[in-house]
């Protein structure tokens, strides 16, 4: 089983600099199996490791995979322009872990957002070649019509796109809202497609990525939780 010095473990989990982590250990703030470990050089097996810090139990995670219900008026950027960064909704140690959003949602778009510190995972999920289906609920300015739905299903031409873009699925929910599934992941795609089809998007919420749904996660706006490795497989499946 892999093992690391305790100060390196704390640093890897986002609890600060090596110097600060060593001080936490020397002060007796880090407990394993209820026993304080005061020597930072102590080698600890990381497999299934749990430790207590400031009376809170933590589990060692080589990488973190986070599902967040993004509220409106947050930017998916570490250098935001006009609104606070979405990373402000996470504990401070996540910044030390250098997590970043997987793709982006506009500041006024809400819903399911993935966040991770696993570069390979971020790249794979962000790649348009994977055609990961993303499900949205869009609110429209004008009433939803059969002609609008047909245009979105058949494909609409967007500026700077060589070919029309079509929804994989599209259905009316009520007079001013529809559900739409896209696979391409183009910039502002839902809003631009609605505009090209003669309507205007007034609100947008992403409710699923692959088979991972916001409803199943049970997250209220602004809430987050870790995703387990077993749940990541749902990203490659279809939501019901």
Q: How confident is the model at residue 11 (pLDDT cuts 50, 70, 90)?
A: very high
Q: For 117-131, what is each residue's pLDDT tens digit?
A: 999 999 888 877 777
Residue-level pLDDT at 1 = 57
Question: What CATH class has 133-209?
Answer: alpha beta
Same fold, 65-128+211-236 and 133-209: yes
CATH of segment(s) 65-128+211-236: 3.30.70.580
Task: Just list the catalytic residues.
Answer: 106
pLDDT of 222 above 90: yes
Q: Does residue 186 carry a pLDDT above 90?
A: no
Query: How far is the CA of 156 from the CAs of 30, 84, 150, 194, in angstroms?
Result: 58, 33, 10, 9
Rounded Cα–Cα distance for residues 179 and 155 (Å):
16
- Asked if the model's pLDDT at residue 59 lies above 70, the reply is yes
**What is the residue-averaged pLDDT of the chain?**
92
- pTM to 2 decimals? 0.90
pLDDT above 60 (res 44): yes
40, two tokens: 């930072």
So what CATH class is 3-59?
Answer: alpha beta
Burial (Cβ within 10 Å: 0-12, 13-18, ≥19) of residue 96 = middle
132 in Cβ contact with 125 (< 8 Å): yes
């Amino acid at each position: 089983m892999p093992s690391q010095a305790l100060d390196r473990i704390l640093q890897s989990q986002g609890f600060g600099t090596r110097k600060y982590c060593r001080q936490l250990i020397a002060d007796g703030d880090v407990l394993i199996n209820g026993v304080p470990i005061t020597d930072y050089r102590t080698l600890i097996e990381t497999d299934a490791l749990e430790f207590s810090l400031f009376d809170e139990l933590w589990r060692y995670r080589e990488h973190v995979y986070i599902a967040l219900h993004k509220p409106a008026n947050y930017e998916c950027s570490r250098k935001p322009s006009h609104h606070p960064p979405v990373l402000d909704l996470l504990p401070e140690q996540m910044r030390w872990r250098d997590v970043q959003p997987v793709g982006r949602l506009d500041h006024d778009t809400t819903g399911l957002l993935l966040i991770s510190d696993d570069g390979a995972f971020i790249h794979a999920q962000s790649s348009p070649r994977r055609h990961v289906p993303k499900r949205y609920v869009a609110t429209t300015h004008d009433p939803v019509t059969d002609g609008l739905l047909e245009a979105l299903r058949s494909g609409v031409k967007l500026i700077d796109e060589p070919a029309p873009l079509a929804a994989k699925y599209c259905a009316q929910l009520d007079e001013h809202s529809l559900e739409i599934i896209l696979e391409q992941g183009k910039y502002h795609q839902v809003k631009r497609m609605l505009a090209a089809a003669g309507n205007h998007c007034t609100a947008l919420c992403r409710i699923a990525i692959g088979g991972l749904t916001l409803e199943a996660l049970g997250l209220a706006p602004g809430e987050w939780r870790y995703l387990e490795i077993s749940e990541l497989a749902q990203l490659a499946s279809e939501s019901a």
